[in-house]
A and B are shown apart, each in its own frame.
Chain A
Amino acid sequence: MILQNAILPDILLVLFPFIVLALRIFASKHEKLQWYAANIVLFTVFIWQNCLMLGNTQIYLSNWKIDTFGIFMREVFVLGSICALWFAKDYFDHASTGKARLKEFPEFIATMGFATLGGVIVVSANDLITLFIGLELATIPMYALTAWNKKDSEGSEAAVKFILMGSAATAFELFGFSYLYGFAGSLNMPQIATEVAKNASSPLLWISVLFLISGVGFKLTLFPFHTWAPDVYDGAPTPVTALLSVTSKAVAIAFVAVLVFGPFAAVQQTVAPFLALLAGLTLLAGNLGALKQSKLRRFMAYSSISQAGYILVAVLGPETNAKFAIVYYLFLYTFANYLAFFIFGIVGQNRKEDFVSLRGLSKQNLTLAIGLVVALMSLAGIPPLAGFFGKFHLFFAAAETKHYALVTFAVLNNVLALYYYIQVLKAAWIDKPEVEPCALQITCRQKAAVIILMIGVIACGFVPMLANNLFAGLKF
């Protein structure tokens, strides 16, 4: 029955960074050892989480809650870490696009492990202290990762911008939490939820909601607070950009979902118009920003801003459908985003990370060019790729609570999004390169990752996933 114990994979995940660091200290001669250990632990955790039975909520020590949404979100976080681990490996093996080779891989893995753990804490928190610690544990490592390349002046600039914005956001959130505590007199989420249901028009509650929304707006890159994202995504090392656009975004979305469907469940439809406005503006800002980009990473930053808007649309829906849609979309988003990043990473190894560098990709390497089509068309939401079904569920959740105007607006925005995704594909498939492009160097690991992720993006659309866990109920 050890496979059914929901808390053991969490404990393993807590130990994960320490295992890697211990191997670094005590077995520093074997350079490959930490990489193998990290892979083994993360895959074990991922498979273990896939074996858990869904449907029952377990609470450990009164504030560690494991429910269906939590288990799925854990899988998203761990999957994101595995992809980031594989993606980052190359940047520690050799230099790329004029930037120096990154150093201290084991520490990088451990820092990434802490950020993943932070996400897990956010989805299992049952009181505000745990939630706050989780959120900070998910963000603080990201600041350090952004500045990982100490020799790179762009990296340090990005990290400074990131940490100033991030700490200010933390302060706003904390101020919101303090009013929420004053309003409810308790930090326990179910108790706050009953207070909110009883006394929904208290000014303290609404001040707290206002501060919390502006705080999370920074982390989720919602419209008026999104301006830091392109700079940070552009300056950070590429694997960190990928991690930021997937894990960091998933943590922020999980935080919103935990709050909106937890303590604020009673006032969800009262907050909804405000969230709808933010979601709509975020979509538009992300899409308009992406139109004029020519750098790949900056382009991905704007694309991920608009994706955050799409995911926020689902938060307006009824709880079960919204949570299902969010988790499903995050899975696809992880697959598609990392697929795009793997391809940009391979292309960017010897060339500038620019649209121009993609020219002639279809002649040079057909697999990569097809992978790019699959990734970007999935992000744009073209059937029969998984992104279409993901977006369908997101919009469907919002439509169920009659937010038709927002859904229409989001669908129209999708057309805008299609335009700039196709711009990238045009560069890869149609545009002729001006000079003969230098050869691509692809390792077996990269090739395997691209093919697996491609299968993931396509299969997610057809396989009835999330009906239950992959190996649920496996006895051991």
Chain B
Amino acid sequence: MTLLNCLILAFVLFAIGVFGLLTRRHLVGMLISIELMLNAANINFVAFAHFKAADATAGSLFSIFVIAITACEMAVALAILITMYRRHKSLDVNRLEDLHD
């Protein structure tokens, strides 16, 4: 287990997240993809803190803060999803076409 392994894992996770965000058409699926991207960054932080950084506490702390903040963000996202479902009766992003040029 080296730093490079962890970085590759994180990068692959991030790439899967981006791919999911672009291909998924269901809102919950897209939120999960975003969650993957955020957690890829967390792995990076922890890996750098463990293997490389001069200031190791800061990196681990950052990942804990990220988890908390992401939880807030997802709470708001789910609340918005519920209003969206009530208005549109669907969670498919292709149905979001009221606003356009």
Residues of A within 8 A of B (CB): 127-129, 132-133, 136, 140, 143-144, 147, 150, 152-154, 156-161, 163-164, 167-168, 170-172, 174-175, 177-179, 181-182, 185-188, 230-231, 234-235, 289, 292, 298
Contact = CB atoms under 8 A, between A and B. Distances in A.
Contact of B84 (A128, A156, A230, A289): A156
B69 interface: yes
Given A157-B96, A175-B14, A181 B38 contact: no
Contact of A178 (B45, B55, B76): B45
Contact of A136 (B52, B62, B73, B80): B73
A193 to B, nearest CB: 15
A170 B37 CA distance: 9
Contact of B66 (A140, A174, A289, A292): A174
A208 B49 CA distance: 16
A157 B41 contact: no
27 contacts: A132-B62, A132-B65, A136-B73, A143-B77, A144-B80, A150-B83, A150-B86, A153-B88, A154-B98, A156-B80, A156-B86, A160-B81, A164-B21, A167-B31, A167-B73, A168-B37, A171-B37, A178-B10, A178-B44, A181-B58, A182-B7, A182-B44, A182-B48, A185-B52, A187-B55, A188-B55, A292-B101
Contacts of B42: 178
Contact of A147 (B17, B37, B83, B100): B83
Contacts of B79: 144, 147
B76 to A, nearest CB: 5
A136 B69 contact: yes
A178 B17 CA distance: 16
A159 B41 contact: no
Given A153-B98, A157-B88, A174 B76 contact: no
Contact of A182 (B14, B53, B98, B99): B53
Contacts of A154: 98-99
A420 to B, nearest CB: 15
Given A147-B83, A175-B40, A186 B52 contact: no
Interface residues of B, number: 48
A153 B87 CA distance: 5
Given A158-B99, A159-B80, 17 more contacts: A128-B62, A140-B72, A140-B73, A144-B79, A159-B84, A160-B80, A160-B84, A164-B21, A164-B31, A172-B37, A174-B66, A175-B40, A178-B41, A182-B7, A230-B99, A230-B101, A234-B99
Contacts of B1: none
A174 B54 contact: no
Chief secondary structure at chain A's binding surface: helix
Contacts of B101: 230, 289, 292, 298
A292 B98 CA distance: 18
Interface string B80-96: 11011011100001001
Contact of B80 (A133, A143, A168, A298): A143
Contact of A185 (B21, B55, B76, B98): B55
Contact of A186 (B37, B41, B54, B72): B54
Contacts, number: 144
Contacts of B31: 164, 167
A171 B41 contact: yes
Interface string B23-64: 000010011001001101110110111001111001101100
A431 to B, nearest CB: 23
A231 B37 CA distance: 25
Contacts of A159: 80, 83-84
Contacts of B76: 140, 143-144, 163
A167 B77 contact: yes
B99 A235 contact: yes
A311 to B, nearest CB: 24
B83 A175 contact: no
Contacts of A234: 99
A133 B84 CA distance: 27
Contact of A168 (B34, B84, B87): B34
A150 B82 CA distance: 10
A177 B10 CA distance: 14
Contacts of A143: 73, 76-77, 80
A458 to B, nearest CB: 34
Given A157-B98, A171-B17, A177-B41, A133 B30 contact: no
A188 B54 CA distance: 11
Among the interface residues B21, B45, B54, B93, which one has the most CB atoms of the partner chain A within 10 A? B45
A163 B84 CA distance: 12
A431 B83 CA distance: 41
Contact of B53 (A158, A172, A185): A185
A231 B99 CA distance: 6
Contacts of B80: 143-144, 147, 156, 159-160, 163
